[in-house]
Amino acid sequence: MTTTSVRRQLAPVPFAQVTLDDPFWAPRQETNRTVTLPHMHQMLMETGRIPAFDLNFTRPVPSPIVQIFGDSDAAKWLEAACYALTAQADPSLAALVNEFANKVVAAQQPDGYLNTHFIVTQPEMRWKNLRDWHEMYCAGHLIEAAIAHHQATGDPKLLAALCRYADHFAAHFGREPGKRRGYDGHPEIELALVRLYHATGEQRYLQLAQYMVEERGQSPNYFDQEARERGEDPAQFWAKTYEYCQAHAPIRQQGKVVGHAVRAMYLLAGVADLAHELDDPTLLATCERLWDNLVHRRVYLTGGIGPSRRNEGFTSDYDLPDESAYAETCAAIALILWNHRLLQFAGDGKYADIIEQTLYNGFISGVSLEGRHFFYDNPLASAGDHHRVPWFACPCCPPNLGRLLASLGDYFYSTSVDGVWIHLYAQSSAKVQVQGQDVDVRQVTNYPWDGAIQLELRSAQPQAFTLHLRIPGWCDEWQVRVNGAPLAEEPALTKGYLAIHHTWEPGDQVELTLAMPVQSVWAHPAVRQMQGRLALQRGPIVYCMEGIDHGGVGLDRISLDPAAVERFTVEHRPDLLGGVTVLHGAGALIQEAGWEDALYRRNRPPTTQPVDVTAIPYCVWDNRAPGEMRVWFRTG
């Protein structure tokens, strides 16, 4: 490593080494494995997405454009199921996995091609519309599934099939003479190829990933050429701009995150991977520049991104409407994927802050507590007409959510040359290796409902290393003790982490206490839609109010005085919504009395009266009676 290397200094502890037994995530993972994964399998069967691999369907199901990326939905389910199997044996799930993996392998064509839509319905159109038709996107998800399958089962056949498929399109696309300079309109293959490189050790997949990233957005634009070859006028592109498919400019020239949010994040996850693999500071700087734009201008408080339904993506800086927020579940997931990659470079807690904020809010809001209903879009306010549904015509989000939940352990711990990093808090056990020694890490905590965290680091013999403890961005006051005593020297907080240098002996205990008051959160004045409004947060949890707790008064009629928020009380309700901590306090409710039939009145503001309000975690809204929901409240 040279002094100017930008390669990652941290390595994530893989989820197979991490067991969550906390009150928040462990039940979600259990539901995911026992309810959501079987439910999704059934949906994928009923809607023909898994049967598609039998290659005997005769017509588009249910519509051509949706079917075109159907393979990816089934692939993400397979990836999720394999992660679940890696964590825990489950014979019935294993049987479904095995059956589907066999189908996929059997569907592969002699030349290595493997996309059910184009095999069955439009064989002549293979690779003819990379801009819109998602072939490499589907390939990327199949590759990720194959890697997970290999890891879960030890069976190499699916992975081998996907290698053949990757080799197949590597023969068609690239900068070498005779190849076409294509790349997919929906990024995903880039990060998948880097994973394939690691899974196989084959350098050519890394090179192919690099080509995909480097070529994208170059001039002349491949999508123009391809459109003309189809007899189309490129100017008639339905999405109007190549920003939509991240092909408006080469990545290093991009200054703002634009276009389709999931596409942007998947591409940037691949770019982050390449920055590490190629030790390329320009790619890392690109990630940092776009991250700054995203996090300082374009992210919802919940970690949702992409406010607009029109392009499923970004609009302009500070445009963050609440009720019309698109904030696709997949985009929240992709944001987490990207930030997880960035976090490992230098252990900067700002990336972990985004991961935590997104996980606890705009990600997990995507699935109901019972595990069979999903949000595609995650608005921050609803008049009562937004509800989770069992499935979507375009079901990208449910299996994406399933695979992240099943591999959630990936995000909690890292190791580095000098020790252990704890990024996220949740009661859990992890087996890590520090300087060649096994260390058992145990977290005991009721996080996110309580900020008291007890840590034990147990190794066979005393070992000196640094424990890096993240102090979340939301936390203004903390205390750390080792074996019951304050540290001799106040540990420095560097990039969001306390570094505790210690020679760890069996039985050593660290107590970290993160103060967790109810906080009022304010948006930058340039966020037009949030001016004069506040939101409620406690710890990593963003709160909302639901109509059901407020007698149908109209949540928009409630305003919150910031001073009153300081007096809000906290109650843990084990009986409510799977066990959540709720907030109680006083708001002001606009009165209708005295208005009679008037629609407008002059010089007499509406009167208000105090009203008891109850806020619940945003992520569990719409799990009771359907109704109104609101995150941001007027202050006057």
Instruction: By CB under 8 A, name the binding residues for a copy of itself.
Output: 292, 295-297, 299, 301, 318, 383, 474, 476, 519-528, 531-532, 534, 537, 554, 556-557, 559, 562, 590-592, 595, 597-606, 634-636
The minimum distance between CB 585 and a copy of itself, in angstroms, equals 15
Choice between 123 and 255, CB closer to a copy of itself: 255
CA torsion, ordered 295, 300, 303, 304, to nearest 10 deg: -120
> What type of residue is 543?
Y
Interior angle at CA 386, CA 406 and CA 327, nearest 5: 55
SS3 state at 70? helix
**Half-sphere exposure (Cβ direction) of 507: Cα atoms closer than 13 Å:** 0
Separation between Cα atoms, residue 206 and residue 212, nearest integer Å: 10
| Contact of 546 with 624, CB cutoff 8 Å | yes
* Strand blocks (E) in 427-474: 428-434, 437-445, 452-459, 463-470
Bond prior to 220 in cis (omega within 30° of 0): yes
Comparing CA positions, the residue from 302, 377, 303 lying closest to residue 339 is 303
DSSP per-residue codes, 122-162:
-GGGTTS-TTTS-HHHHHHHHHHHHHHHHHHH---HHHHHH
Bond prior to 448 in cis (omega within 30° of 0): yes
The residues that bridge with 115 in the sheet, in sequence order, are none
Choice between 246 and 537, CB closer to a copy of itself: 537
Separation between Cα atoms, residue 558 and residue 462, nearest integer Å: 57
The minimum distance between CB 600 and a copy of itself, in angstroms, equals 5
Comparing CA positions, the residue from 362, 344, 72 lying closest to residue 188 is 72
The residues that bridge with 19 in the sheet, in sequence order, are 429
Q: Is 98 exposed, middle or buried (0-12, 13-18, 19+ CB in 10 A)?
A: middle
Furthest C-alpha separation in the chain:
80
Catalytic residue list? 312, 396
Separation between Cα atoms, residue 423 and residue 499, nearest integer Å: 12
> What type of residue is 636?
G
Residues 6+ apart with CB under 8 A from 31: 369, 370, 371
Separation between Cα atoms, residue 346 and residue 338, nearest integer Å: 14
Separation between Cα atoms, residue 438 and residue 460, nearest integer Å: 7
The minimum distance between CB 523 and a copy of itself, in angstroms, equals 6
Bond prior to 617 in cis (omega within 30° of 0): no
DSSP per-residue codes, 336-372:
HHHHHHHHHHH--HHHHHHHHHIIIIIIGGGB-TTSS
Separation between Cα atoms, residue 331 and residue 334, nearest integer Å: 5
Q: What are the tokens at 546?
A: 């639901």
